[in-house]
Structure 1
Amino acid sequence: MIYTIGFLLLVAFIIYGFMLTRKKKAQAFPANWHTILLKHVRFYKNLSVAEQQRFQARIMLFLSEVNVESVGFKLEDVDRVLIASSAVIPVFNFNEWYYKNLSTVLVYPDHFNEDLGFAQKDKNRNIAGMVGSGQFKNQMLLSRKALHQGFQKKAHVHNTGIHEFVHLIDKQDGVIDGVPERLIQEPNVIPWLKIIHKEMEAINDNKSDIRNYGGTNEAEFLAVAAEYFFEKPKLMKKKHPDLYQMLKVCFRVKN
């Protein structure tokens, strides 16, 4: 098919206009959010001043592109900051990232069940977060309680927010399978699968400090390993050097 120069210029203008719109929509970073980030987000606290400013811009851009809504409670600034941080941390070293498969983050006060209920007496209320499908396509559902617990100082590694956003990154190629095309280039696919299966076997044999849920399947392993990588990178480098190096490549971490 042959396109005229005028048509190509029009397409370029539309794309450029879209990018400008994205940048214009982002509001100014609230000054008090810096304190919230320092208190709750270790990843942010460890950044240089210049990188902290870049992180601030990225979370504001995310919040300008994605709706954050609550069910049964009023959202606070800390909720928005932790959700946006969960989204930015895995892709912070990408020059630009747009969650094309996300329009809304729906936040419940606590864990919920498969029917999206959260009655306190419901024994099946055990879901901390999920990437929506069907009628909830392009939505993410999160437990506020689990979100906050993920950013608390703790001995174990479990960050629900990062976990679910890594699933969303994995899904950008159309399927959540633990081998996201945006992170893992073709030459690294086979080495990555070898590492996955080795580490999953160790998990299922109770010979690993990686969270047991990572032994469920390849997709869950990627999300659980990413939690570990971003929450305790030094420990992962020591205990799982091959996995650590592969995740450095995936998430474009230079240091």
Structure 2
Amino acid sequence: MIHIILTVLILVVLYFILKPKRKTKASILEKAIIPEHWHNLLIENVLFYKKLTVREQKVFCDKMSAFLSRTTIKAIHFDLEELDILLIASSAVIPVFRFTNWHYTNLSTVLIYPDYFDKDLQFDKKTKNRNIAGLVGSGRFENQMILSRKALHHGFNNKTDKGNTAIHEFIHLLDKADGVVDGIPSALLDKQYIIPWLQLMHQKIEEINNNKSDIRSYGGTSEIEFLAVAGEYFFERPKLFKRKHPELYKMLQACFVK
């Protein structure tokens, strides 16, 4: 009888030792198959991706795949195309590309409207004041982002400007990672840089409002918008930004290049 019990116990132990381990979501994502045609679409449409090395391009695609596995993208009153999805995923990855491991825990859904919209989220051509290109939702739209498809594509089609609406909104999400959107990227900057950041930001906002800066005027409206506007410039025209604003460039490097 004792031998039978021991045999059963040994078999049970062996079962748990040899049992194939379930793949975690992370391990599945690491081995996600990336469609080959993504490469050409990204080369043609995303300058940031085009400038990466072959190895970095692979990492970029893996990060896009991970983002898309966690985020729902919904088109409002139009048929969503694959390029729309890739541009949104690229916008999410670009600000955090140099981070070892980052997930937008404050985002579940991206709603993409066909055109610019007003404060009531109306986008019909007859609607006045349709001047909003994107926003990070709150209240009933908490954990959601709303983007204009027209603005999304313009941000990637224009290779010489300093703006990109979708990147702008994802930087707002990074700002919100510490619990509040205030233009102070506490989740990204080491504590010793917070006061220097505030001093530099206020100086740059003053320059914008006195027409002494090439940073887009919208960046002078608030600390919140300054971070997002300066971040767009940093990623869209890095060489020009470094030449024109070396001190600010170093500060944003401390935020985005980990």
| Runs of at least 5 residues in structure 1 that lack an aligned partner in the other structure | 1-16
Give the conservation status (yes or no) of the 8 Å contact 1:22–1:65: no
Q: Deviations over 1:102-141 (max 9, x none)?
A: 0000000011111111111112211100000111110000
Which residue type is aligned with residue 202 of structure 1?
A: E
Q: Distance in 2 between matches of 1:246 and 1:236?
A: 12
In structure 1, the residue corresponding to 2:111 is in which secondary structure? strand
Percent of pairs with identical residues? 56
Instruction: Supply the distance in 1 between the matched residues of 2:216 and 2:159 (Cα, whole angstroms).
Output: 14
Query: 3-state SS of the aligned residue for 1:173?
Result: coil
Secondary structure of the structure 2 residue equivalent to 1:151: helix
Distance 1:106 1:18 in 2: 33
CA-based RMSD of the aligned residues comes to 1.6
The within-5 A match list for 1:1-255 is 20-24=24-28, 27-252=32-257
Kept in 2, the 8 Å contact 1:213–1:221? The answer is yes
- Aligned AA (1:191): P
Per-residue deviation, residues 44-82 of structure 1 (Å, max 9, x unmatched): 000000000000000000000000111001111110110
User: Aligned-pair distance for 1:31?
Assistant: 1.2
Q: Aligned partners of 1:218, 1:20: CA distance in 2, in Å?
A: 40
Cα distance 1:64–1:18, how it changes in 2: closer, same or farther (>3 A)?
farther
DSSP 3-state at the match of 2:130? coil
Aligned-residue offset at 1:228: 0.4
Please give the secondary structure, in 2, of the residue aligned with 1:190.
Answer: helix
Structure 2 Cα separation of the partners of residues 63 and 200 of structure 1? 35
CA distance in 2, matches of 1:19, 1:168: 30
Residues in 2 aligned to 1:154 and 1:41: alpha-carbon distance in whole angstroms: 9
Change (3 A) 1:226 1:19: farther
> Could you tell me how far apart the structure 2 residues matched to 1:18 and 1:151 are?
40
* Aligned residues of 1:178 and 1:218 also touching (Cα < 8 A): yes
1:156 CA drift (Å): 2.5
Equivalents in 2 of 1:94, 1:217: separation in Å? 27
Q: Distance in 2 between matches of 1:106 and 1:30?
A: 24
Deviation track 1:164-223 (CA, whole Å, cap 9, x = no partner) reads 000001001111001122211210001101110111111000110000000011110000
Q: CA deviation at 1:85?
A: 0.5
Task: Encode CA deviations 1:75-100: one digit per residue, 9 max, x unaligned.
Answer: 11110110000000000111010100
- Select the structure of larger CA radius of gyration: 2
Q: CA deviation at 1:25?
A: 5.5
> What letter is aligned with 1:229?
F
Whether the aligned pair in 2 keeps the contact of 1:23 and 1:61 (CA below 8 Å) is no
Shift in Å at residue 153 of structure 1? 2.8
Q: Scaled by the length of structure 2, what TM-score is found? A: 0.88
Contact 1:130 1:141 in 2 (8 A): yes
Task: Give 5+ residue unaligned stretches, structure 2.
Answer: 1-20
- Report the secondary structure of 1:68's partner residue: strand
One-letter identity of the residue aligned with 2:173 = L
Aligned length, in residue pairs? 237
How far, CA to CA, are the matches of 1:22 and 1:132 in structure 2? 27
